[in-house]
Amino acid sequence: MLGLVELRGHLVQRLRDMVRNGELTERALARTTGVSQPHIHNVLKGKRALSVEMADVILNALNLDVHDLLKQSALGQNNQATAGK
């Protein structure tokens, strides 16, 4: 079972992937959540920690929930298991 730290890590990774794939911009995420763009940038770069409150705001803004992060985690674990074979 994943703990809070791992779930936050999965959320940050999902956000990084969305920005990298062009699905989302830091500016759009900042506008949607009311969090400053520099703070979003620092979280995505690993310079600042993602608070539980901010994680909740982001999940709500993107219509995601913990189940989405758990699915992502399961997919990542399956990909790692098959890569090791």
Q: Count up the domains in the chain and report the number.
A: 1
Closest CA to 15 of 47, 52, 40: 40
Mean pLDDT of 59-63: 93
CATH number at residue 72: 1.10.260.40
Give me the pLDDT at residue 84, please. Answer: 54
Computed over every residue of the chain, the mean pLDDT equals 85
Task: Determine the structural domain holding residue 35 and report its residue range.
Answer: 4-83
Give me the pLDDT at residue 78, please. Answer: 46
More confident residue, 75 or 22: 22
Spatial CB neighbours of 80, under 8 Å, sequence gap ≥ 6: none
